[in-house]
Amino acid sequence: MGTIAALAGGVGAARFLRGLVRAMPAEEVVVVGNTGDDEIFHGLHVSPDLDTVTYTLAEAVGATGWGLADDTFRTLEAYARYGEPTWFRLGDADLATHLYRTSRLREGATLTEVTAEIALAWGVKARLLPMTDDRVATVIDVATAAAADAALVGGTPPIPPGDGEPVTMAMQEWFVRERAQPPVAAVRFEGAAQAKPGPAVLDALAEADAVLLCPSNPVISIGPILALPGVRDVLRARRARVVGVSPIIRGATVKGPADRLMAAAGIEVSCAGVASIYADICATLLVDESDADRVPDVESHGVRAAVAPILMRDADGAAELARRALDLAG
Site residues for Ca ion per CB under 5 A: 10, 37, 49
Q: Which does 258 bind (CB under 5 to 8 A by kind): ligand GDP, Ca ion, none?
A: ligand GDP
Distance CA 56, CA 124 (A): 9
Query: What SS3 state is found at 2?
Result: coil
Q: In the bound complex, what is the minimum distance in angstroms from residue 256's beta carbon to ligand GDP? A: 4
Query: What residues line the site for ligand GDP (CB under 6 A)?
Result: 9-13, 15, 49, 52, 215-217, 221, 245-247, 249, 253-256, 258, 310-312
Closer residue to Ca ion, CB minimum distance, 112 or 217 = 217
Q: Which does 256 bind (CB under 5 to 8 A by kind): Ca ion, ligand GDP, none?
A: ligand GDP
Closest C-alpha to 116, from 191, 47, 17, 183: 47
Distance CA 143, CA 136 (A): 22
Closer residue to ligand GDP, CB minimum distance, 236 or 250 = 250
Closer residue to ligand GDP, CB minimum distance, 109 or 315 = 315
Q: Which does 215 bind (CB under 5 to 8 A by kind): ligand GDP, Ca ion, none?
A: ligand GDP
Q: In the bound complex, what is the minimum distance in angstroms from residue 163's beta carbon to ligand GDP? A: 34
Q: Which does 254 bind (CB under 5 to 8 A by kind): Ca ion, ligand GDP, none?
A: ligand GDP
Q: In the bound complex, what is the minimum distance in angstroms from residue 37's beta carbon to Ca ion? A: 4
Which residues 6+ apart lie within 8 Å of 115 measured at CB? 33, 47, 50, 54, 128, 129, 130
Closer residue to ligand GDP, CB minimum distance, 147 or 258 = 258
Q: In the bound complex, what is the minimum distance in angstroms from residue 325's beta carbon to ligand GDP? A: 11
Helix (H) or strand (E) holding 259: helix 258-264
Q: Please state whether beta strands 304-308 and 284-288 pair in parallel, antiparallel, or not at all (unpaired).
A: parallel
Closer residue to ligand GDP, CB minimum distance, 119 or 171 = 171
Distance CA 43, CA 99 (A): 9
Q: Is 250 left (phi over 0), alpha (psi -120 to 50) or beta?
A: left
Please state, as a whole number, how many other Cβ atoms lie within 10 Å of the Cβ of residue 121.
Answer: 13
Distance CA 115, CA 227 (A): 21
Distance CA 53, CA 101 (A): 15
Measured at CB, which residue is nearest to ligand GDP? 12
Closer residue to ligand GDP, CB minimum distance, 54 or 221 = 221
Q: Is 266 left (phi over 0), alpha (psi -120 to 50) or beta?
A: left
Q: Which does 311 bind (CB under 5 to 8 A by kind): ligand GDP, Ca ion, none?
A: ligand GDP
Closer residue to Ca ion, CB minimum distance, 37 or 297 = 37
Instruction: Read off the DSSP letter of residue 181.
Output: -
